[in-house]
Amino acid sequence: MVQLRLREAHLAGNCPCREVSPRYHAAFVAGERISQLSRETDGLLETLGQLRLQIKSSQSSEARSGEHRLTS
């Protein structure tokens, strides 16, 4: 609970370490931003993977449909 409040204070820019150690504060905030970007990237990669599967499935269906029309 204490860590969560400290994290929120860091991100809001009103934590005690900001005056004591600006470098630590900047590093903490940068680390949090990197973590956030990493999570967003993971989500985008997952979405991209799902879209690729949908495209492959669609292409397979179209190919089978085309083959069926050719043999009819």
Q: How many domains does the chain have?
A: 1
pLDDT of amino acid 17: 76
The C-alpha angle 59, 42, 25, rounded to 5 degrees, equals: 160
Q: Which domain holds residue 8?
A: 2-71
**Encoded tokens for 68:** 């069926």
pLDDT digits (tens, 9 = 90+) for 5-57: 777 777 777 777 777 788 888 888 888 899 999 999 999 999 999 999 999 99
